Amino acid sequence: MKIYLIPVLLLSIGATLADAQNRPAEPLPEAPLPSQRTALPAPKPSTIYNESYVVRAGYMCGAGASTSPVATKPTTGCGVGFTFIPLPIFTEIGIMAPQANRSYFTGYVSVDGSIPLASMKLAYLPMAIVGYSRLFETGHAFDYGLALAMPHKGKPGDYPTSLRLELRDYWTFANPTQHNVMLRLGWMSVETD
């Protein structure tokens, strides 16, 4: 670069800077007023309570009658259970006493599935329950019944909870046969899909 071009280059840079300083500043775009802002859609109400009632954990207690050809006695029972994921099978461990036949009390393990009897969108969902129970002192049992899941809506962010009302028969097909018919009430700490 020739030395006489340096002053020309400096003059052109200076002229460009001076021209930029003399121009009026372009206005910045104005921020929209609060009424003009696009509102975010309102969050949908939680449907965690009424999706499918497949995943759950909790406890159940109830009272009823234990009857066989030998005797009929009032009986009570309580159990705790949870769902084995990924299968929608509820496993419950508990105790019932007294029993009409073979022993005064029995421990049990139940494995049950639930069949919804109405639309899954209902908050109060009626269900049929069917499964197998092993009553350790009285034998193998086919258990079946009806249930009503009733959600309890807590604070946002809480785990969903629900009450469950059941009418269930534990039909022990031992010799002689025995029925434990119970009305049970339970609390489920998780009851959703």
Tens-digit pLDDT string for the chain (193 aa): 565 656 656 666 666 655 655 566 666 666 666 555 555 555 444 443 344 456 678 899 999 999 988 889 999 999 999 887 777 789 999 999 988 877 788 999 999 988 888 877 777 889 899 999 999 988 899 999 999 988 766 666 566 678 889 999 999 987 778 999 999 999 887 655 4
* Per-residue CA distances from 92 to 104, 115, 171, 173 (Å): 20, 17, 16, 20
Pair of tokens at residue 166: 């059941």
- Four-residue CA torsion sign, 40, 42, 46, 50: negative
**In 10 A of CB 154, how many CB atoms?**
11
Using a cut of 0.85, tell me whether the model's pTM lies above it. Answer: no
Has domain 55-192 been given CATH number 2.40.160? yes
Q: Give me the long-range contacts of 22-31 (CB less than 8 A, separation at least 24).
A: none
